Structure 1
């Protein structure tokens, strides 16, 4: 990166570091909750389907509250929204660690953490980074921030597994509570973005004056609608893996530590994938790259589940999936910013993410139901592969569609 660019970014570094740490912790802790599923369900007497229902509720709360959270950042600023989310995350983990039955798991792991993620995770963090950086390096910076979001799982999963095996799952969750406390200062520093003025409106924003106009523009844009539908399948695949991979490996008789190692490898390769796709998104069609990710991810998923797992195949699978994991983050954020501008980016990106989370609900809860009914995950992974290939091919086919005028201009005229 040129020296002049680095000088330009220097005032934004506290904001970018705060957003990166916030995203890393919120995503890393959430992605690692699956390691507690087996001991927790056995100890407090709930089923795997009950636990996955709580995770599904978390994903639905996260998804459906993401657009309102994005709209609130326009009215009140990013800092109040992110700080509230940080406090709710800590409260949710505390309630989960003290749980004696399903209700506490549903409220802690489900509702509270779900609300928190709407205020601290990808859509908000990437919107913060987008506003803080100039367009020339925006895609690369988004890739760096997205990559930082992977480091939380790299740390949280092994820590939680070690504490859980040595002292029980409740102590493992106490370790997560301590990590989550760092969300509070990171959200505070990221909130400095409220002092950064929005750029002068461009043709994409010239007639956009309200949330309603922004929503009409987004939902009337064919590339955005297709991207949003494909994002549904993305959520289904990824949450199925994070929620059910530990259970699948235990079902196959593998070492329990392998699941934590695999989640850690996913986190590590997430960094490489995010950096690569952030860089690539500044040079090639972002929507085309998204479609290619979905196709490649589905092929990797099919390869892994077609034969019994080994330690080597599991770690190779984790590395390949990790590389293809959060690379969608900078591409989706960049595509939304290009299509609709920055003012309502968090809200519009939240609309796409709501679709992602409906898919996440099916990936978590549907996978649990299939496991409980059939005693295996075969039908679940086959379904995920088929939908993933379809979504990827359709995304590639629509990637070159360009509206005749900026979507928000058309919506404002309508």
Structure 2
């Protein structure tokens, strides 16, 4: 009598379920900036305090990501997603009940930060990367990444509407309810890494800590960490502070919400486009060009007169570049180090992304409190984009197994 075989999910069903989970998880996350002003008015949480809560969220999101990624590699992505979904719903529901800065830091900061680690890119891309053929991996990563943008396009306007017709607490309760849907979707994202063997793409399987030690000794891994820090700074700064920046200029909450939604809409196309490029061109060079484009777009935005038209144009343009870094960066990690420990290794790189997010959310709020403007944050965004463009170009992207075991001559 043969043992029952594990249920296998079609690779593209897994991609679809993973994209839907990211749609919910990242959609809610990108809407948090809409709560800054109403919460400040209701419970006296100023911009620096709110920015600190989002910074804590991003920091914890990153700090636990390698451990959560390794857990998903060992126990399976589905179980990890279910745990994250429950924690996410709990964190948002409790945020709706708080009345002071400490409560916001513990709920929206700590609980949601931990939840995000189990319901976003690292866990899902690790599972997808092991079942999708290598020549289609970049496109699959792009589709999952686009899920975050679909969520931003759909969830952000919904959240703004809920805040407008009811209040911010009701909006948080609705978002908490939406997070429960991820539990059902987690059934479509199953599987865990196989025992250490030679991987299908030719790179050598090895233990988690051995893989991590090998990665940190590779200069390309360090450069990827530094570059992804910049991406995190940009994403957190804009998603947290752009609505308030536009409101300060008298453009109103609808323009801020519309800008975030447009970022999400255009990144649906951008994520797929850069995933497509990941399968066909040098990933490190495409990353360099992407960051150069970000620097140019931000510079033009701060130099031209601010208006609804310029804000929405900026949102669409930066949106196309928004999360295109994810399929390229995760794809480059898989290309160099293989997919056996992709959740762990991309989790480490993503941790650097979240360090950048911490500073993007908090430092911009601190700078605003000290100077009364976001000028320094915009300048830092441009300078960091140029630095990231320079860092990616020299990365050695040859698979490590090839580098360590060259063919005989």
**Bucket of the pairwise TM-score, normalised by the shorter protein:** over 0.9
- Structure-2 change in CA distance of 1:219 and 1:31 (3 Å): same
Q: Which residue of 2 aligns with 1:323?
A: 320
Runs of 4+ in 1 over 4 A off after TM superposition: 195-200, 402-405, 407-410
Measured in 1, the distance between the counterparts of 2:350 and 2:46 equals 28
2:406 paired with 1:406: no
Matched-pair contact (CA < 8 Å) for 2:64–2:117: yes
Q: Which residue of 2 aligns with 1:201?
A: 199
Matched-pair contact (CA < 8 Å) for 1:78–1:193: yes
TM-score (norm 1): 0.91
Q: Which residue of 2 aligns with 1:140?
A: 139
Matched-pair contact (CA < 8 Å) for 1:56–1:360: yes
- After TM superposition, give the deviation of residue 405 of structure 1 in Å: 4.7
Matched-pair contact (CA < 8 Å) for 2:61–2:114: yes
Q: Which residue of 2 aligns with 1:382?
A: 379
- Structure-2 change in CA distance of 1:402 and 1:137 (3 Å): closer
2:237 paired with 1:243: no
- After TM superposition, give the deviation of residue 311 of structure 1 in Å: 0.9
Matched-pair contact (CA < 8 Å) for 1:54–1:105: yes
Q: Which residue of 2 aligns with 1:3?
A: none
Q: Which whole-Å deviations, capped at 9, do the CAs of 1:281-318 have from their partners, x for residues lacking one?
A: 11101111111111111111111122342111111101
Q: Which residue of 2 aligns with 1:212?
A: 209
Q: Which residue of 2 aligns with 1:51?
A: 50
3-state SS of 1:309 partner: coil
Measured in 2, the distance between the counterparts of 1:198 and 1:129 equals 18
Q: Which whole-Å deviations, capped at 9, do the CAs of 1:161-209 have from their partners, x for residues lacking one?
A: 111011111112122122222121112321x234989985258642x42
Q: Which residue of 2 aligns with 1:188?
A: 187
- After TM superposition, give the deviation of residue 363 of structure 1 in Å: 0.3
Structure 1 segments unaligned to the other structure (5+ residues): 1-8
- Structure-2 change in CA distance of 1:165 and 1:70 (3 Å): same
- Structure-2 change in CA distance of 1:165 and 1:407 (3 Å): farther
Q: Which whole-Å deviations, capped at 9, do the CAs of 1:319-344 have from their partners, x for residues lacking one?
A: 11110011111111211111111121
Matched-pair contact (CA < 8 Å) for 1:15–1:193: no
- Structure-2 change in CA distance of 1:10 and 1:184 (3 Å): closer
2:152 paired with 1:156: no
Matched-pair contact (CA < 8 Å) for 1:205–1:409: no
Measured in 1, the distance between the counterparts of 2:87 and 2:160 equals 23
Matched-pair contact (CA < 8 Å) for 2:156–2:257: yes
Matched-pair contact (CA < 8 Å) for 2:194–2:340: no
Matched-pair contact (CA < 8 Å) for 1:85–1:116: yes
Matched-pair contact (CA < 8 Å) for 2:78–2:186: yes
TM-score (norm 2): 0.93
Matched-pair contact (CA < 8 Å) for 2:58–2:354: yes
Q: Which residue of 1 aligns with 2:337?
A: 340
Structure 2 segments unaligned to the other structure (5+ residues): 1-7
Q: Which whole-Å deviations, capped at 9, do the CAs of 1:74-132 have from their partners, x for residues lacking one?
A: 22221221110011110111011111111221121111111111111111121122122
Matched-pair contact (CA < 8 Å) for 1:198–1:342: no
3-state SS of 2:330 partner: helix
Q: Which residue of 2 aligns with 1:169?
A: 168
Superposition RMSD in Å: 2.1
Matched-pair contact (CA < 8 Å) for 2:39–2:168: yes
- Structure-2 change in CA distance of 1:269 and 1:199 (3 Å): farther
Q: Pick which of 193-202 and 348-357 moved more.
A: 193-202
- After TM superposition, give the deviation of residue 402 of structure 1 in Å: 4.5
Q: Which residue of 1 aligns with 2:356?
A: 359
2:309 paired with 1:312: yes
- Aligned residue pair count: 398
Q: Which residue of 2 aligns with 1:121?
A: 120
